[in-house]
Amino acid sequence: MNTTKNIIHLQDITKTFNTGEVPFTALKNITLDIQKGEFLGITGKSGAGKTTLLNMIAGVDNATSGEILFQSSESSLPIHALSEDQLAQWRGENIGIIYQSFELMPTLNLVKNVMLPPDFLGTYRPTTSKKHALELLDLVEIADHAYKIPAHISGGQKQRVAIARALVNDPQIIIADEPTGNLDSVTAETIFQIFEKLVAQGKTVVMVTHDESFAPRFSRHLRITDGVVSEAKGTKITKVTDEVLGTEKKGRKAKEGETPAVILRGVDKVYETPAGDFVALESVDLQLDYGQFISIVGKSGCGKSTLLNMITGIDHPTGGEVLVDNKDIYSMKKSERALWRGNNLGVVFQFFQLLPTLTLLENIMLPMDYCNLYSSKERPKRAMELLTMVGLEEQADKFPTAVSSGQQQGAAIARALATDPSIIVADEPTGNLDSKSANNILNLFERLAEEGKTVIIVTHDSSITRRTDQTIILSDGEIINQAIARALPLLSHTQMMIATHQAEHKSVSADSVILEKGKEVEHFFMIKSGAVDIIVKEKRGKEVPLAQLGAGQFFGETELTLGGGAIAEVRGASEGAELALLPKKIFNELINDSSLTRSSLEEVANSRKSENKKRKTDR
C-alpha cells in the first residue's frame, strides 16, 4: 500500500443490515484505495450500494467488518475505531459532504448557510468567516445572490451553495452523493466543472452518480454492483475538433426583405422581490427568422421562461421593444394581445395542459372555437387532420388519461397548430417523455420548420441543440455570443459571458488580409458568418488555398497555444466574413481556467500544424 499517494484505504469492508429475518449485505469485502487529488466516480444502479460505500468513506456509518484508514503525511488514522465524537471532529476538519437535496437552512441567507460548519466546530469568527463565505460563493459563481434566502434561488444555485458550504473548512476530500440528480443537464455541467476545478487545486473528489454519461470525465471510474466494486473501463472525452465544432445545422434561410418572425430590442425584465430587485433579462437583442428550429438553453434561473413570456406576450417587459411579425405586441391592450396570441402563436407546455373531461379531438377544437376560426362543421375535420399528422387519429375519441404521455404531448402539439400559427413556442416539451416519444416530437418540429414555421423550444437537454438551426444560450439574463458558444463550447456559461463582454467585432471584405504568415497573433478569431480562406505560398511565390473556414469555426488557436507566428495567411473569402475576436490575454485566462477547453484546442492546433507541415512536404 503506497501511503504517499493514498488518502483513504478500505480493507475488506463488509456492511450488513439486519432487516427482517434475513440480513441484507450492502457491501461485500471491498478493498479500495482513494488517491490524493483524484476525481473518483462511482456509478451503479439504485440499491447497488453506492451511498453505503460513501457513508463508509465519510465515517457516517460503521462497517460490519474491515478497516478504514485515513492517510496523512504524519500518520495513518483508523476511522473505523474512532468514537462518534472523534468521527464528527475528523469529518469537520477533513471531509466536505454534498447531498442531492442541498440541505440548506431555509431561514438563513446564503452567506449564513455557508458559515454554519465553522459555527458548529467552534471556529466561527464573525468577520473572517463571512469574508471566507463570500469568497467561496464567488468560487461557485453565485456571490451576486449572497444575501438571498434559498427560496429565492434556483435548484442549481442551491447546489452551488451546498458546494461552497462543503468547502468552508478547506477539507481534503469532497464527497458528493448524486449532486446533479435533481438538476438539468446545463446546470449539472456547471457543477461538474466546479468539481474539476477543485481537483485541479489538489482536492480529492469522490462522486456517486447513476448517470453513466459522466464516466469519461472522471480520472478514475468504479462501478458497484450488488455491493461489489469493480474497475470500469471508461471512454475518452470527446475533444473539440473541427468536426465536432463544425457549423450549425442549416435551416431555411430568410428571403431577402422578409420580415423576421421575432425581434427583441434592448429588452429588460426586472422583478421586485422582498430581497430587492431581481434582473431576469438585461438588454436582450435578438432576431429569429421564419422557417427556423430554434433552441433556448441555459442554467436554471437564467431567464429562459421569462424570455418566452416576452415573445408570447404573457408578461410585460420592464424596458425595450418586442416585435412579432413586425407588430409591437406590447402596444396592444391585454385582451387584444390574448386574441392575437390565439391566432398567431401555438404554445406547447411540458405538462400537456389538456382538459381531462374532453376527448383529444375536442381538446384540439378548443382554440378554433376561442378564436372563432373555421365553421362548426369544418372544425372536427381540421382537428382530425392534425391528429393524423401526429399519428393519433385512432385515439381521437379517447380522453387524455387513456393515452400515454407521448401521445398526450402529440395531442398538445396538434392543439397548438389548430389555428395554423406561424410561430410555435414549446417550453420543455420533451421533459417528461421517453427517448422514442421525444424523438417523434423533435421530428415533427423539424418538419414544421421546413414548412416555414418558426419553432422555438426551451430545453435543458443539450443534445437537442444538435438538431436545431439556431441555439440561444442565456446566462443570468443575458444572451451569450453565439460565435463564442460554438467555438468554445466547453467553457462554463459564466466564462462564455466574460468572453461575450470582452469580444471585439470586425467585418472583413473579400481578399482582405486578416493574418500575415509569420506575424505575431494577438487574437483568437471566431467566425460569426461568411468565410475565410487559409492561404500558403510555395517557394516560387504561387499562392495555394489550404482550407476554407465558415461560420462556427475559428483560427489563431495554433499560434496562441503552441507559440510562434502565424503558420499561414488568412483572408476574407469571396463573401467576406463577420468575426468575433478575443484578445490574447483574455483568451489565455479563459482556457487556463478550463483544462478541457485548453486540451481540446491544443489537439486542434497540433492537428492543423501537422496538416500544414504535411502539405508543405507533399509540395
Is the four-CA dihedral 521, 524, 528, 530 of positive or negative sign? positive
d(CA 175, CA 478): 33
Grid cell for residue 456? 422555438
The C-alpha cell 471556529 sits at 123
* Residue 124 predicted with pLDDT over 50: no
Q: What is the pLDDT of residue 59?
A: 86
State pLDDT tens for residues 342-381: 788 888 876 667 888 889 998 888 888 877 888 888 889 8
CB 282 within 8 A of CB 500: no
Angle at 247 between CA 241 and CA 253, to 5 degrees: 175
Pairing of strands 293-298, 513-515: unpaired
Report yes or no on whether pTM surpasses 0.75: no
Rounded Cα gap, residues 607 and 271, in angstroms: 49
- The residue count of the chain comes to 619
Per-residue pLDDT at 119 exceeds 50: no
Rounded CA gap, 587 and 502, in Å?
A: 10
Q: What is the pLDDT of residue 579?
A: 94
Q: Inform me whether the pLDDT recorded for 187 exceeds 80.
A: no
Listed residue (420, 267, 262) closest to 327, CA to CA? 262
pLDDT at 454 over 80: yes
pLDDT at 372: 81
Residue with cell 469580444: 503
Better-scored residue on pLDDT, 409 or 8: 8
Of 119, 116, 92, 90, the residue nearest 102 (C-alpha)? 116
**What confidence category does residue 120 fall into, taking pLDDT thresholds of 50, 70 and 90?**
very low
Using a pLDDT cut of 70, give the percent of the chain over it: 87
List the one residue out of 398, 255, 468, 344 whose CA is nearest residue 410.
398
Query: Please, which pLDDT band fits residue 118 given cuts at 50, 70 and 90?
Result: low
pLDDT band at residue 121 under the 50/70/90 scheme: very low
The pLDDT-based confidence of 238 (bands split at 50, 70, 90) is very low
Q: Do the beta carbons of residue 211 and residue 43 sit within 8 Å? A: yes
pLDDT at 23: 80
- Which pLDDT value is given to residue 350? 64
d(CA 363, CA 175): 49
Q: Contact at 8 Å (CB) between 83 and 98? A: no
Banded model confidence at residue 456, pLDDT cuts 50, 70, 90:
very high
- Closest by CA to 475, choosing from 183, 175, 77, 190, is 190
DSSP string, 591-602: HHT-HHHHHHHH
In the predicted model, what is the mean pLDDT of residues 277-302? 86
- Cα–Cα distance between 330 and 434 in angstroms, integer? 38
Which of 89-93, 518-522, 541-545 is least confident?
541-545
**Average pLDDT of span 431-459:** 82
* β 554-555/523-537 pair status: antiparallel
What pLDDT, on the 0 to 100 scale, is given for residue 233? 62
Which is more confident, 437 or 134? 134
Q: Report CA-CA distances (Å) from 215 to 44, 183, 220.
A: 11, 17, 8
Residue 13 has pLDDT above 60, yes or no: yes
For residue 41, list its beta bridge partners.
207, 221
pLDDT of residue 256: 47
pLDDT digits (tens, 9 = 90+) for 563-599: 888 888 899 998 899 999 999 999 999 988 888 888 8
Give the C-alpha distances (Å, rounded to integers) separating 327 from 30, 291, 608: 67, 18, 48
Cell numbers linked to 401: 388519461
Q: For 125-140, what is each residue's pLDDT tens digit?
A: 455 578 888 888 888 8
Task: At 342, give phi and psi (nearest 5°).
Answer: -65, -35
Quick: pLDDT tens for 473-516.
888 889 898 889 888 888 888 888 899 999 999 999 998 999 99
Please write the tens of the pLDDT for every residue from 376-421.
888 898 889 888 888 888 888 888 888 887 788 888 888 888 888 8
The angle subtended at Cα 75 by Cα 70 and Cα 81, nearest 5°, is: 50
Give me the mean pLDDT over the 56-82 stretch.
Answer: 86
* Predicted pLDDT of residue 266: 92
Domains and CATH numbers, the chain: 6-231 (3.40.50.300), 289-316+337-479 (3.40.50.300), 487-618 (2.60.120.10)
Q: Is residue 251's pLDDT more than 70?
A: no
Mean pLDDT (whole number) for 210-233: 82
